[in-house]
Structure 1
Amino acid sequence: MKDTPGWASPGSAPSDGQEPGASGPAGPTDRPGPAEPADQPGSAPQDTPDPQGPGPQWSKQQPPPGQWSAPADPAGSGRPAPPPPPRSPGWGTQPPPGPAGHGPGGFQAHGTPGYPAWGGGWGGPPPAAKPGVIPLRPLGVGEILDGAVSTMRTYWRTVLGISLTVAVVTEVLVILLQGLVLNDTSTAALNDPSATASELTRAMGEAMLSSGAVFLISLIATVAATALLTTVTSRAVLGRPVTTGEAWRDARPQVVKLFGLILLLPLMAVTIIFVGALPGILVAVFGNTEGGVALAVLGGLAAGVVALWLMIRFSLASPALMLEKQGVVKSMIRSAKLVRGSWWRVLGIQLLAGIIANIISAIVVVPFTFLAAALGGEGVVGFLNGEGNNLGWTFLIISGIGSVIGSMITFPINAGVTVLLYIDQRIRREALDLELARAAGVQGYGADAGSGG
């Protein structure tokens, strides 16, 4: 497959004047030939003849200078070839066509084998069609980010409805989990220098359970938002709006498969990391504790690198599953094929989008967090010092409102970048821009692009 779609690069625009390398009549058809009398009764006065004398195929009365120039003399009759016509700086207006197989004025068309081409200074291919939020060609990093933001800005009602729904459901689950379950866990031993090893192990396990549960809910929400916003972004590429109901109807047949994919990907990552740390854990339990901990950390880090590599390979599985109606395994294989050879590019774009989205979200979330700490009983100073392990409902609710607002920003950006990155990879590898142009009703785009190979 080619890395770029095969649109044609047309020739340069003709300049004003006669195309060289022409065959057929060597003079203008509206002038009298040699057999015709130059002056007929009632006819208009003719121009002054060429002082050098016309050739045998030319009329005695030549047109005024500057209207057209004599064609090249391939037969070698001795007449000097005319100077080349001026080059056109870009795309010009095509002159009226001549007879079949010939260019303007009855002469052979530009690009005829054996004849020189002229006007080679063309200004590059014409701009790609842009029926929606992105141009239909391989995209740059800025265009992917701009397309995600343009989708959010243009179709804000639909995007806001989806993002708000997912964010509210997610935050309600997190608040209930933290307020009813995780508040009973104690992590004070992590800050106690005199804590025993068993207390530290227990506290670390509870902290990991708390963080893992919140992370899992957030991950499910992120992928779910990506799935629902996939339809919105794919329609935005074509310049067509979509309602929240239409997006749900399009995503509903794939919901079961989607949740299978959502559960499989983090489970795969956790399993890989656990297997990498397992030898160190066994050594720590049955032998040297310090050596086992060091081995577990090193094994976990190495396994984490492998897990990251696989997660980026499968990062386009969600849009592949939703747009191509694939199964879980097939969508993962599809994602791996699209990412192959572009792993670092996909990682960089997704990492950049995540950093930008999280910075914007933090601008909103941090003030709500400090407000929640000020009203939550411990005060801002106590919150910063880690005083008070139990989070009150006031703190959870106020900080949850800030998290909902932040999620309404991060969900569309992350989802839009993932979908547009998937579309970009398909444009580069499969010329998806031709299908998108036809679906958007762009006239002649597929024919022109396809002729270039």
Structure 2
Amino acid sequence: MNDSPGWASPGSAPSDDQEGTGIPRPSAPADDKGPADQWSRDRPPAGQWSPPSTAGNGPAGPAPAPGRAGSTGGGAGWGRGPAAAKPGVIPLRPLSIGEILDGAVSAMRAHWRPVLGISLTVSVISQILIVLLQRYVLPEPVSIDPNAVGSEALRQATDSMESQLSSMAPATVISMIATLLTTSVLTVVISRSVLGRGVTLGEAWAEARPRILPLLGLTLLLSLMNVAIMTVALLPGLLLGGNGGVALAFLGLVAAAVVLLWLMVRFALAAPALMLERQPVLTSLRRSAKLVRGAWWRTFGVLALTYLLILVVTMVIAVPFGVLAVALESGGPAEFLSGSTDFGWSFLIVTGIGEVVVATLAYPFAAGVMALLYIDQRIRREALDLDLARAAGVPGYEDPRS
């Protein structure tokens, strides 16, 4: 491990066939005692260890190096005393869910210049493109006759759905690219903030740029996998048709949703692994699955809480901007309530500003949670805190091999 912006060199993470060889296992965290989080006797309990202290009868020895057998006695610095080392935004020990969320916010505050620089810039550019597409490129929505029945009503509903999907596709692609750019840069910023080191936007971009194409490949692969699963689940019902086909399609939709949720959580840490370990796409997927194994529900809980907070922030910001946009529209609220979709510039600009504010806050928060969740799982599984302490220059954590 080195102290480069990504602080993890290729191959620093253990491979699947090397698991358990020479890797210290930290003591079991209080909030995660699953079978996958097996800990070594060489490590103290969570929340009860700290960097070696010079208090007492002389300096304590260095922290146990990965792969070295520590003393089974009560060594100095292993008792209830000083807190864990905290060179940056998080303490170097297994984290609670609250500490992960707080660490993401702390990183945004401590490094607001590069965080706001990349998130605001990307949000403004992407929203300008989306507004121009909505105004000049995207087709008008298909009108639906409320009195239509039978096959005509089904045809109109299908045409309307196809029109909405085609209209959403360009904005979805733009948002995906914006998310890629911000995630790549912000992951570097978060990794530096864990070590207590600052980074300029130019340095973060230089570090992240070589990983953007692999990150794009990872995103496309996951998207194709989702589309394939949904197609396989819905196709039999659509081909069958009739009431039986509708019921079969509904069951397929439920089954696909369960599978996609399981896979989303299983591969949630693939992007941080790809960025910080410099891993290829398929290897990053395997790394994520390995880190999440035995901690699926905890990972799901962190992600669910994160997206719930983002939803709350989105509603708090978007609703006032939406009300203002409707009030400024030439037709007023009456035209909006009539179902008209021919919005003017005032509506598009005001709602666009609201979207920029939301994205500027949501992008770095989500990226920070993902990166810190990845770091937390590696601390629990692979004693990454020792490498982080060495990279940060914490006294007493010098590499004994050096």
User: What's the TM-score bracket when you normalise by the shorter of the two chains?
Assistant: 0.7 to 0.9
Q: Which moved more, 1:141-150 or 1:314-323?
A: 314-323
* Residue in structure 1 matched with residue 274 of structure 2 by the alignment: 321
Contact 1:138/1:428 (CA < 8 Å) preserved in 2? yes
* Residue in structure 2 matched with residue 409 of structure 1 by the alignment: 361
- Change in Cα spacing, 1:386 to 1:329, as seen in structure 2 (3 Å) is farther
Contact 2:215/2:274 (CA < 8 Å) preserved in 1? yes
Asked if 1:177 is matched to 2:130, the reply is no
Contact 1:365/1:399 (CA < 8 Å) preserved in 2? yes
Which has a greater percent of helix? 2
2:238 to 257, 281, 303: 281
* Residue in structure 2 matched with residue 440 of structure 1 by the alignment: 392
Give the Å deviation of 1:378. 3.0
- Change in Cα spacing, 1:165 to 1:137, as seen in structure 2 (3 Å) is same
* Residue in structure 2 matched with residue 309 of structure 1 by the alignment: 262
Residue 184 of structure 1: SS of its match in structure 2?
Answer: coil
Asked if 1:333 is matched to 2:286, the reply is yes
Give the Å deviation of 1:92. 10
Contact 1:183/1:389 (CA < 8 Å) preserved in 2? no
Give the Å deviation of 1:241. 0.4
* Residue in structure 2 matched with residue 370 of structure 1 by the alignment: 323
Asked if 1:138 is matched to 2:90, the reply is no
Asked if 1:234 is matched to 2:191, the reply is yes
Asked if 1:257 is matched to 2:210, the reply is no
Matches within 5 A, 1:183-194: 183-186=139-142, 188-189=143-144, 192-194=146-148
* Residue in structure 2 matched with residue 245 of structure 1 by the alignment: 202
Residue 138 of structure 1: SS of its match in structure 2?
Answer: coil
- Give a deviation string over 1:358-382, Cα, whole Å, max 9, x none: 2123212211111111112232343
Give the Å deviation of 1:412. 1.0
Give the Å deviation of 1:391. 2.6
Contact 1:272/1:304 (CA < 8 Å) preserved in 2? no
1: CA distance, partners of 2:56 / 2:339 = 78
Q: Which moved more, 1:339-348 or 1:228-237?
A: 339-348
Give the Å deviation of 1:396. 1.3
* Residue in structure 1 matched with residue 335 of structure 2 by the alignment: 382
- Change in Cα spacing, 1:95 to 1:265, as seen in structure 2 (3 Å) is closer
Matches within 5 A, 1:111-126: 124=80, 126=82
The structure with more radius of gyration: 1
1: CA distance, partners of 2:355 / 2:244 = 41
TM-score when normalising by structure 2: 0.78
2: CA distance, partners of 1:220 / 1:386 = 34
Give the Å deviation of 1:161. 0.2
- Change in Cα spacing, 1:447 to 1:252, as seen in structure 2 (3 Å) is closer
Residue 445 of structure 1: SS of its match in structure 2?
Answer: coil
Give the Å deviation of 1:212. 4.6
- Change in Cα spacing, 1:130 to 1:184, as seen in structure 2 (3 Å) is same
Contact 1:378/1:388 (CA < 8 Å) preserved in 2? no
Contact 1:361/1:409 (CA < 8 Å) preserved in 2? no
Q: Which moved more, 1:349-358 or 1:401-410?
A: 349-358
TM-score when normalising by structure 1: 0.70
* Residue in structure 2 matched with residue 208 of structure 1 by the alignment: 165
Give the Å deviation of 1:233. 0.2
Give the Å deviation of 1:175. 1.5
- Change in Cα spacing, 1:172 to 1:264, as seen in structure 2 (3 Å) is farther
Contact 1:279/1:296 (CA < 8 Å) preserved in 2? yes
Contact 2:215/2:271 (CA < 8 Å) preserved in 1? yes
Amino acid across the alignment from 1:273: M
* Residue in structure 2 matched with residue 147 of structure 1 by the alignment: 103
CA RMSD of aligned residues (A): 2.8
* Residue in structure 2 matched with residue 298 of structure 1 by the alignment: 251
* Residue in structure 2 matched with residue 40 of structure 1 by the alignment: none
1: CA distance, partners of 2:378 / 2:195 = 15
* Residue in structure 2 matched with residue 353 of structure 1 by the alignment: 306
- Give a deviation string over 1:86-129, Cα, whole Å, max 9, x none: xxxxx9953479xxxxxxxxxxxxx9x9xxx9xxxx96253110
* Residue in structure 2 matched with residue 164 of structure 1 by the alignment: 120
1: CA distance, partners of 2:90 / 2:147 = 56
Give the Å deviation of 1:232. 0.2
2: CA distance, partners of 1:291 / 1:353 = 38
1: CA distance, partners of 2:253 / 2:55 = 65
Q: Structure 2: where are the runs of 5+ without partners?
A: 1-19, 26-36, 46-52, 60-70
2: CA distance, partners of 1:253 / 1:169 = 22
- Give a deviation string over 1:306-363, Cα, whole Å, max 9, x none: 1221121111111111111111111111111111111111111011111112212321
Q: Which moved more, 1:236-245 or 1:389-398?
A: 389-398
Give the Å deviation of 1:446. 6.0
- Give a deviation string over 1:125-149, Cα, whole Å, max 9, x none: 5311000000000000000000000
2: CA distance, partners of 1:94 / 1:340 = 41
1: CA distance, partners of 2:271 / 2:362 = 17
Q: Structure 1: where are the runs of 5+ without partners?
A: 10-90, 98-110
2: CA distance, partners of 1:292 / 1:336 = 35
2: CA distance, partners of 1:129 / 1:393 = 53
Amino acid across the alignment from 1:439: A
1: CA distance, partners of 2:165 / 2:58 = 75
2: CA distance, partners of 1:232 / 1:359 = 25
- Change in Cα spacing, 1:123 to 1:330, as seen in structure 2 (3 Å) is closer
* Residue in structure 2 matched with residue 268 of structure 1 by the alignment: 225
Contact 1:136/1:436 (CA < 8 Å) preserved in 2? yes
Amino acid across the alignment from 1:370: V
2: CA distance, partners of 1:8 / 1:445 = 15
Q: Which moved more, 1:209-218 or 1:124-133?
A: 209-218
Residue 388 of structure 1: SS of its match in structure 2?
Answer: coil
